[in-house]
Amino acid sequence: MLDFVIPFIILILVVVFIHEYGHYYFAKKYGVGVTDFSIGFGKELFGWSDNSGTRWKICIIPLGGYVKFFGDRNVFSQSDQEALINKYNEKEREKLFVLKPLYQRAIIVAAGPIANFILAAVIFLFIYMFIGKDFTPAVINEVQIESPADEAGLKKNDIILEIDGTKVKSLLDVSKLITMSTGEFIDFKVSRLDQDVILKVKPKIVASTDNLGNKMNKRIVGIKLGAFNDEINHVKLGPAKALYYSLNEVYFVTISSLKYLGSMVSGSGDSSQLGGPIRIAKITGQVAEFGVIPFLSMMAYISISLGLINLFPIPLLDGGHLMFYSFEKILGRPLSQKTQEGFFRIGMFLLLSLMFFATFNDLRDLGLF
């Protein structure tokens, strides 16, 4: 159990700290008072106070965190401004988040998710520069008889150039792109006898397990791959190329995640693969056994997910507050407290429903349902 829990806690501490530090950094930059910087929720395990009056603390439930601003009951609360003006003196008002210009509030809120994307990009940058990136062209060594690939017309010795419009730069890209695909058909662009051929493959969905032994519904096309000319091309990149490919990876994961969530909303996606903290902890522990680099890669993917989810326009999330600021910009005034409270109730229902569904999938994955 500790093999799973310790890596999970380390991952969550880093990812959440970076997220909250994004909020904290710009809050301090714009003169907002910060009373609490918390990693986790609930009872404080330990902490300290700095010279500016901020309480830095680690709490007992390591499933998130928050930054609490001076004068606010909770993070980014939209208290009545007139009441705040009457409650605090002129010097104290300068530290109030809700009295800051709209653009500053928006930057402070958006800085958390953006920090998560930056963390992921930095991790990929480090890996590509010091460990390297694979650029081995993917060649089909075998097409299984009567498989989806065979029926679609894929052949031995085809070099895979693109999958669903995304360029295939290495062997590893093929399985990743097939797994992340969401459509009924997967578009393959291959090079065959110096000609480009585009084929549509309808994958089979079969109950299987991933490389770590976790249950999953796998998309199978029926091909076996090899390296072009049996040569592996794994190279360490310079800073510029490493930055390009790291940003490209962040973009790819973000877009693929949005497509996957969109497919679930439309009913065509596989919702059984949506997991919560239990599944994340399990996979994190399994990945950590393979070494530091796989663990860091896992951290990058979780960081992207956290940043992306927090940008959704759901009240209680950063994206919900950005949505309120959009209304404020359009209307020329904040939404009424009653309207905001109505939105927050809807947001709470959506988040609780999502947590329940993800937890149910986690428990089912463990064989408890």
Q: Which pairs with CB-CB distance under 8 Å and at least 24 residues apart come from 145-150?
A: 147/204, 147/220, 147/221, 147/222, 147/223, 148/201, 148/202, 148/203, 148/204, 148/220, 148/221, 148/222, 149/201, 149/221, 149/222, 149/223, 150/222
The number of CA neighbours under 13 Å toward the Cβ of 9 is: 12
pLDDT per residue over 77-94, tens digit each?
444 566 666 777 878 888
Q: How many whole angstroms separate alpha carbon 314 and alpha carbon 23?
A: 18
Please give the helix or strand (H or E) that residue 144 lies within, else none.
none
pLDDT at residue 75, rounded to an integer: 40
Cα 116 to Cα 109: distance, rounded to the nearest angstrom = 13
What share of the chain in percent tops pLDDT 70? 82
Closest by Cα among 102, 98, 109 to 24: 109
| Alpha helices (H) in the chain, listed in sequence order | 2-29, 81-87, 90-93, 102-130, 148-152, 171-180, 239-266, 277-288, 292-310, 318-331, 337-365
Residue labelled with tokens 């408890």 = 368
Is it the case that residue 51 has pLDDT exceeding 60? yes
Residue 78 in 3-state DSSP? coil
270-300 pLDDT tens trace: 655 565 555 556 566 666 676 888 889 989 9
Two tokens, residue 177: 């792109």
Residue 215, token pair as written in the block: 């249950």
For 184-197, write each residue's pLDDT tens digit.
899 999 999 889 99
Reply yes or no on domain 134-235 having CATH 1.10.150.80. Answer: no
Q: Which residue has the higher pLDDT, 353 or 311?
A: 311
Domain ranges of the chain: 2-130+303-365, 134-235
- Predicted TM-score of the model (pTM): 0.85
Q: Write down the pLDDT at residue 333.
A: 82
The pLDDT of residue 130 is 95
Q: What's the rounded Cα separation, in Å, for the pair 15 and 9?
A: 10
Phi and psi at 232, nearest 5°, equal -90, 130
* pLDDT at residue 347, rounded to an integer: 78
More confident residue, 307 or 282: 307
Active site residue 328: no
